[in-house]
Amino acid sequence: MASSSRAVKGRMLVNEPMAKYTSWRIGGPAERMYIPRDKADLVAFIQALPADEPVFWFGLGSNLLVGDGGIKGTVVNTRNRLKVMRLVDENRVYAEAGAPCALVARFCCDAGLVGAEFLAGIPGTLGGALKMNAGAFGGETWRIVEQVETINGRGEVRLRPKQDFQTAYRSVRGFPDEWFLASWLRLEPGDGAEGQRRIKALLERRNATQPTNKPSCGSVFKNPPGDFAGRLIEACGLKGLTIGGAQVSDKHANFIVNLGGASAADVEMLIETIQDRVFNTFGVELQTEVCRVGEP
């Protein structure tokens, strides 16, 4: 852990239940959780950690399945932190990793820039979107990225151009020992008011087709090439399938919802059941999109 003599500006919590912070409302305790005051405080905190301290970062806790045994080491919680956004020039926006994607989308439109509206459909932070090249409604995060700011376990901060990373559908390959602090997004000047109307239409479409009124992680599986995971799952008759407190949504089959009291083990069993049924029926191996962390 960081030295107790350091002037900590943020908050350190011990044995903090992750279920309080994940959109699934599932997850055992974090051994330690640090909530930084701002980016500078977070950098100082990381620099003070022992080199062998396990560290896990999260923002809004979407797209995240935390094991029932919790997370060992230190969890960095950027929820409502690292959310500075500013217009850099006529077509670039700087946004820190803790900024919710939906707010980034609206900020860009308010600045008269278009191309980031799809971010409104991603229920997480920009940092999470950068990590997995999150997308929605035909858009993908790294298509609009120019450069990023990262930090490694030694607290060394770097600026890296987009070209330093290999990106594909829901995939980013780069530097596994680094975390994202911020990003510069390159967009096009346009009609911000029309962009806001597109955001509204996208959100209405999402609410009409996805179970936004129940705890979930968003899409559980990646879409296989040329098809949709939800279509395959529904075609197997799995809508409504329930294990413990977890259920395949009857509104969108690529969502697993927490009916109340679901455990990570319930969700894992449901994921495995879906994968087995889809493979046995269609010969397709569904790959998970959700990030699984922590102890069983």
Instruction: Catalogue the active-site residues.
Output: 170, 219, 289
Ordered DSSP codes for 74-135? EEEE-TTSS--EEEEETTEEEEETTSBHHHHHHHHHHTTEES-GGGGG--SBHHHHHHHT-E
The closest alpha carbon to 27, from 286, 281, 275, 263, belongs to 263
Query: Contact, 157 vs 149, CB < 8 A?
Result: yes
Give dist(CA 273, CA 276) in Å, integer: 5
Q: What is the CA radius of gyration of the chain?
A: 19
Strand, coil or helix: 30: strand
Query: Contact, 91 vs 187, CB < 8 A?
Result: yes
C-alpha 114, offset from chain centre: 22
Classify each residue of 88-123 as buried b or exposed e, where b means 16 or more C-beta atoms within 10 Å of its C-beta. eeebbbbbbbbbbbbbbbbbbbebbbbbbbbbbbbb
The closest alpha carbon to 3, from 53, 39, 71, 68, belongs to 53
Ordered DSSP codes for 213-272? TS---S--BPPPTTS-HHHHHHHTT-TT-EETTEEE-SS-TT-EEE-SS--HHHHHHHHH
